[in-house]
Amino acid sequence: MLWTQKPDGRTFGAVGAEPIIETFRRLPSTEKIRLVQQLWDEIVEDASRLPLTESQRRLLDARIDEHEANPNDVEPWEQARDDILRKL
Q: What is the pLDDT of residues 27-79, one digit of tens each?
A: 999 999 999 999 999 999 998 889 999 999 999 999 999 999 999 999 999 99
DSSP class of residue 70 equals -
pTM: 0.47
Quick one: pLDDT at residue 17? 80
Quick one: pLDDT at residue 7? 67
Q: Where are the alpha helices (DSSP H) in 1-76?
A: 17-26, 29-48, 54-69
